[in-house]
Structure 1
Amino acid sequence: MELTPVTDLPEIRPGDDLADLIADRAGDTLADGDVVTVASTVVSKAEGRTADLADYPVSGRAQEIADSLGDLAGEEKDPRFAQAVLEESTELLIEVPFLLTETRFGHICVNAGIDRSNVPGHDLLLLPERPSESAARIREGLTERGYEDVAVIVTDTCGRPFRHGQRGVAIGWDGMPASRDWRGEQDRDGRELGVTVQSVVDELASAANLVTGEGADGVPAAVVNGWEFGDLAGSEELFRSVEDDLIRQALRGWEWGDSA
């Protein structure tokens, strides 16, 4: 497998055709059957998902959240940002010491994934509304340009429980299953695997993040050559349902300051 960043992409503006820009810059790197990863930041910019703090009239709930976070941090927090997070979320799992939320498409992350960096002319950059549909549009555009059987993954970076640092994850995908199912296969000792389901879209997103980078030096897309799904069952499931998510269930009954 080989991963190559797609360099020299311009600052993305609303209405830009990402498929056209990626195909033009990728050149001979992109071929039939490849996987293209695209950062959610440029997808959001192309879809006009920018916003300003002034767009969010503050509710009493947002003011309460901002006050609690401000008291804990020892500095004033903008309730308009809290309002933006509320409007982009379906559930707040944690309110202090930070906002851990479920987005409207099922992704759980801090601050509903709202970005405040690299947003020229605006205060906020929101995640795409429906990232898998965004991936499907980019994939359709690449297909129209002659690339067959290309898969597209929309990526973001977020932290992980129990570990320091961030890594790339998939928030939307099209043209491939989200995971491959090893259940029923055997290990080297002949034991049957009973629970192993491999989140391949997350693994490819994380691998791509190693070559695309972060911050001012980052590039928003990469091409993955030579990766094959293999002869295994696939699944479109990525985000756990509430019924299957023991951590989320536990967080619903947890409050900041609870003792062990």
Structure 2
Amino acid sequence: MEAFAVPDLPEIEEGDDIGALVAERVDLREDDVVLVASTVVSKAEGRAYDLDDFPPGPRAREIAARITEIAGDEEERDPRFAQAVLEESNELLMEAPFLLTETRFGHVGVNAGIDRSNTGGADLLLLPRRPSESAARIRDSLPVDAPVVVTDTSGRPFRHGQVGVALGWDGVPASRDWRGETDRDGHELEVTVESVVDELAATANLVTGEGDDGTPVVVVRDWAFGDHEGSENLFREVQGDFVREALRGWEFDG
């Protein structure tokens, strides 16, 4: 398979048609997968805000004061930012030493995925409200029926560094189900479900990079889902998520 960045994209602004901009620069095929960084999706959808748009309530002030106490005066936290995180979250899984939340659409990440870099001049760039719907809109504006995945980068427990992950997708299942098949020794696979959209997002992130390259859209070509059963499930259900259950009973002592 081949992965390449869409060249010469302009700075994305609110109201821009990302699919049309991509189609003007790449001769797309139906077997392509178009992977779009959430930052440009958010810009096109008007998700840039200033801190003053989030007057802090009592809980936000309490959270900011706690994190400031832990981090020290040199890294004082703004309660307006804490308020923005609260408003973008279904659940606050950790309040210290950083904010780990479940977003409104089910993704778990630090600070509800809110960006303070590459914001286009605003203070904050919030994630798309419903990334799979965003992916569907971009797909509808393409000249061919190619799948679309909206991506972001995320840290992982037990490992250093960030990796590309999928936030929303349309036109491709989230995962390939290998259960019921056998390994090379003839043992039946009982739990193996491959997160395809995350793997595609990580592939795209190798091409887009993390800095100021200005290449937020990647096309993956000559890749096929295959004949496995597919699933739309990507985010774990709360019931049976043992890590989340453990976090709910844990408090930072530092």
- TM-score, length-scaled by structure 2: 0.97
Q: Distance in 1 between the 2:118 and 2:228 partners?
A: 40
| Paired residue secondary structure (1:106) | coil
Q: How many residue pairs end up in the alignment?
A: 252
Indicate whether 1:179 and 2:206 are aligned: no
Question: 1:203, 1:132 → 2: CA distance?
Answer: 17
Q: Which residue of 2 aligns with 1:63?
A: 61
Cα separation, 2, equivalents of 1:2 and 1:211: 11
Determine the C-alpha separation between the residues in 1 that align with 2:121 and 2:194: 40
Counterpart-to-counterpart distance in 2, 1:71 and 1:257: 12
- AA at the equivalent of 1:68: R
Please list, as runs of the form range in 1=range in 2, the aligned pairs for 1:93-112 lying within 5 A after superposition.
Answer: 93-112=93-112
Identical counterparts, % of pairs:
69
Q: Is 1:31 paired with 2:13? A: no
Q: Deviations over 1:209-249 (max 9, x none)?
A: 10111111241000000111111100000000110210000
1:161-200 equivalence runs, <5 A: 161-200=157-196
1:1-260 equivalences under 5 Å are: 1-26=1-26, 28=27, 30-75=28-73, 76-142=76-142, 145=143, 147-148=144-145, 150-257=146-253
SS in 1 for 2:251: coil
- The unaligned stretches of length 5 or more in structure 2 are none
Q: Deviations over 1:96-131 (max 9, x none)?
A: 010000000000000000001111231000000000
Aligned-residue CA RMSD (Å): 0.9
- Contact 2:180–2:188 (CA under 8 A) maintained in structure 1: yes
Q: In structure 1, how many angstroms separate the alpha carbons of the residues matched to 2:195 and 2:118?
A: 29
Gaps of 5+ in 1: none
- Is the Cα–Cα contact under 8 Å of residues 9 and 214 in structure 2 kept in the other structure? no
TM-score norm. by structure 1 comes to 0.95
AA at the equivalent of 1:244 = G
**Conservation of the 8 A alpha-carbon contact between 2:37 and 2:150:** yes
- From the superposition, tell whether residues 47 and 250 of structure 1 become closer, same or farther in structure 2 (CA, over 3 Å): same
C-alpha separation in 2, matches of 1:20 and 1:115: 25
2:179–2:191 CA contact under 8 A, matched in 1: yes
